Amino acid sequence: MKVLACIKRVVDYNVKVRVKADNSGVDLANVKMSINPFCEIAVEEAVRLKEKGVATEIVVVSIGPTTAQEQLRTALALGADRAILVESAEDLTSLAVAKLLKAVVDKEQPQLVILGKQAIDSDNNQTGQMLAALTGFGQGTFASKVEVAGDKVAVTREVDGGAQTVSLSLPAIITTDLRLNEPRYASLPNIMKAKKKPLEVLTPDALGVSTASTNKTLKVEAPAARSAGIKVKSVAELVEKLKNEAKVL
């Protein structure tokens, strides 16, 4: 079974992001970039499926600038067999990304597509669902457990108030939640070997996909600074403030 794992290049989760002075976006100059943590979980799940003998080939795909090759190499070091970069320097919407992934799915014909549930930069939580709609595949979003048996996959989903298990016919789309697995570290010898694994570079044009955007980012701002807390003298005063000032009671 072929598995397609999708990854996004984002600002590393340890970095404190800064907004550009002109509010046009986040400053990316000299900032450490990494695989989106949810996407890393997707790659790890694909690698585990291969280690279990369920998957036979893992193709990792990313859509982004030339530099996204770094993240693809990391995914290859983690255990993917080959990589595809759909190169685009544009700031793409979730729909454009889903259309490009649909084209890659058509080309590669995977049985399982695993994506992160959302990226920690734009926090949209849309691409997996849109890809399911475009391909017509069943979707198991926010997965905390994945079990493939025959031509079905059982996906346990993290939903409000508990867990829901769905059974999907293959091919299917899965988006990962945090509890699905704990990704391994890329071993140093595997990082060195990853440079010998194939990495194909495609363009949206070559895939016949228009990425024209219907969205426009107007302004990016830092969250408002938190004001300092206050000390109250008694429980009565606390309750009074919660009721009348905070209006939460």
Partner 1 sequence: MNFEMTAEELAVIDSAEQVAREVIQPLAQHYDETETFCLASIRALGDLGCMGINLPEEYGGLGIGSLAMSRVVEAVAGACASTASAMTAHFLATDSILLGGTEEQKQEWLPRAASGELLAAFALTEPAAGSNPADMRSRAVREEGGWRVRGSKHYITNAKEADFIVLYVKTDPDAGHKGISAFIVPRGTTGISFSSPEKTMGLRGSTIYELSLDCWLPESALLGVEGQGFNTAMAVLDRGRVEVAAMSLGIANAALQASLSWVRERQIGPKPLAAYQGTQWRLADMYAQLESARMLTMKAAARRDSGERFSLDSATAKLVAAECAGFITDAALQLHGGYGYSRDLPLERYVRDARILRIFEGTSEVQKIIISRALLDAAK
> Which range, of 38-46, 57-65, 154-162, 187-195, touches partner 1 by CB under 8 A?
187-195
Contact residues for 242 (Cβ-Cβ < 8 A; gap 6+) = 248, 249
Beta carbon nearer to partner 1, 62 or 111: 62
Residue 191 interacting with partner 1 (CB under 8 A): yes
Nearest to 80 by CA among 120, 49, 107, 101: 49
Omega before residue 171 within 30° of 0, cis: yes
Distance CA 44, CA 85 (A): 19
Residue from 125, 166, 190, 241 touching partner 1 (CB under 8 A): that is 190
Token digits of residue 127: 């691409």
From 44-52, 107-115, 127-135, 184-192, span contacting partner 1 (CB under 8 A) = 184-192
Q: How far is the CB of 68 from partner 1 (least distance, A)?
A: 12
Q: Which of 43, 172, 186, 202 binds partner 1 (CB under 8 A)?
A: 186
Q: Are 75 and 43 in contact (CB under 8 A)?
A: yes
Name the H helices within 15-125: 37-51, 69-78, 94-108
Cβ-contact 134, 99 below 8 angstroms: yes
Considering only residues 12-71, where is the footprint of partner 1 by CB under 8 A?
70
Task: Between 70 and 205, name the residue whose CB sits nearer to partner 1.
Answer: 70
Tokens read off for 184? 């391994």
Residue list 91-150, contact with partner 1 (CB under 8 A): none
Cβ distance to partner 1 smaller for residue 74 or 88? 74
Q: CB under 8 A: which stretch of 56-64, 105-113, 119-127, 189-197 binds partner 1?
A: 189-197
Q: For the stretch 231-243, what's the b/e string if a residue is b when 16 or more beta carbons lie within 10 angstroms of its beta carbon? A: eeeeeeeeeeeee
Q: Choose between 23 and 187: whose C-beta lies nearer to partner 1.
A: 187
Our finding on whether 189 is near partner 1 (CB under 8 A) is yes
Min. distance of Cβ 14 from partner 1 in angstroms? 8
End-to-end CA distance of the chain: 55
Residues 118, 8: Cα–Cα separation, whole Å: 10
9 binds partner 1 (CB under 8 A): no
CB of 160 or CB of 182, closer to partner 1: 182
Under rule CB under 8 A, residue 192 binds partner 1: yes
Q: CA-based Rg of the chain, rounded to a whole angstrom?
A: 21
Q: How many residues bind partner 1 (CB under 8 A)?
A: 14
User: What are the residues binding partner 1 (CB under 8 A)?
Assistant: 70, 73-74, 77, 185-192, 194-195
